Copies of this chain bind each other. A is one copy, B any other.
Amino acid sequence: MRMIHTIDDMRHLVGECRQQGKTIGFVPTMGYLHEGHMSLVRRAKAECDFVVMSIFVNPLQFGPAEDYEQYPRNLDRDANLAKNAGVDAIFVPSVNEMYPQKQLVFVEVEEITNNLCGVSRPGHFRGVATVVAKLLNIVQPDKAFFGQKDAQQVRVIQQMVQDLNMPVEIVPCPIVRESDGLAMSSRNVYLSSEERLQALSIQRALLHAEELFKTGERSATVIEQQIRSIIEAEPLAEVDYIKIVDLQNLTDVSTIEDDSLLAVAVRFGGTRLIDNTILYVKEGQPCFAQ
């Protein structure tokens, strides 16, 4: 496995792949890899000839009061995991390599960033869209693989690729969970054992909501309220949002009539966790990964 630190070296490698007629699959990450990332790599390997993973904790997508500094990092461990998973190259640029001078150009995604994490984390999706645009322009993959735990991020990236006509296919991949049901996240290491235990209420609540939906409940308010009472039964839980939104435009819905996203963000102690599930109304027309 190649470890690449500069944009020039990355471009050179991409050029070689192209000359050899190889398709490139790309898995952008912020490192501290877990099984969720590994599932993206497996999918990329299944669909592409050459797999590039980037590991870059992007300062642009963190707010001033957020966890950029303490975000967990361990490059040795990540490199081993990537190598064992069959990644062909990891791209590990420094902040200075990605932002050699003050960034003046930003990719702004409107409307679909006006809800959910876009409200709780002002500027977050601008930072995400901008760095993903940069990475896609550097790696020039045929396909890029994103985890659906960050459902709004997937929508934002899909919209960016569509509206800017970027020559890449975005492949959303299903949420991967710990054996106890907690959605995999690099931030899970922040949790104390007590917080971790209480955080399991999130998936319990989502499963309950799916059950309600399957048995015919279509009132978003009713479902949201039941989720809230399950999660807020945990004394350490502080709900950021619990929302059912339209899957395409991410606006609030009151009655579930189209495919919808049920998304939650909850803090346990200082740790903000997100999770979601998709409520498909249109049989056989799933818009996201299955």
| Interface presence of A82 (CB below 8 A) | no
User: Across the two chains, which residue of chain B brings its CB closest to A109?
Assistant: B105
A111 within 8 A of B: yes
Q: Does A278 contact B (CB under 8 A)?
A: no
Q: Given the complex, which residues of B lie within 8 Å of A110, measured CB to CB?
A: 104-106
Cβ of A164 < 8 Å from any Cβ of B?
yes
Shortest CB distance A158–B (Å): 10
Contact A164–B104 (Cβ < 8 Å): no
Are A108 and B111 neighbours in the complex by a CB distance under 8 Å? Answer: no
Q: A138 and B163: CB pair below 8 A?
A: no
Name the residue in A18, A103, A104, A107 with the highest tally of chain B Cβ atoms < 10 Å from its Cβ. A104
Q: Is A281 interfacial (CB 8 A cutoff)?
A: no
- Is A130 at the interface (CB under 8 A from chain B)? yes
The verdict on A164 contacting B112 (CB below 8 Å), with A104-B159, A107-B107, A159-B104 known, is no
Q: Number of contacting residues on A, CB 8 A? A: 28
CA distance A111 to B101 in the complex (A): 13
Chain B residue contacts of A111, Cβ below 8 A: 104
| Residue of B whose beta carbon sits closest to that of A137 | B165
Q: Are B107 and A105 interface neighbours, CB within 8 A?
A: yes
Contacts of A130 in B (CB 8 A): 164
Which A residues between 51 and 69 are near B, CB-CB below 8 angstroms? none
Distance of A170 from chain B, by nearest CB (Å): 13
**0/1 per residue, A1-23, Cβ < 8 Å to B?**
00000010001000000100000
Q: Is the CB of B108 within 8 A of A164?
A: no
B11, B159, B167: the one within 8 Å of A137 (CB): B167
For the A-B complex with A104-B112, A106-B110, A134-B165 known, give 10 more contacts whose Cβ atoms are closer than 8 Å.
A11-B167, A105-B107, A105-B108, A105-B109, A105-B159, A105-B163, A106-B107, A107-B164, A134-B163, A137-B165
Q: Across chains A and B, which 9 residue pairs bring their CB atoms closest together, nearest first?
A: A105-B163, A137-B165, A134-B165, A104-B110, A106-B108, A105-B160, A137-B166, A108-B108, A138-B165
Chain A to chain B contacts (Cβ below 8 Å), 27 pairs:
A18-B18, A104-B109, A104-B110, A104-B111, A104-B112, A104-B163, A105-B107, A105-B109, A105-B110, A105-B159, A105-B160, A105-B163, A105-B164, A106-B107, A106-B108, A106-B110, A107-B107, A107-B164, A108-B108, A130-B164, A133-B164, A134-B165, A137-B164, A137-B165, A137-B166, A137-B167, A138-B167
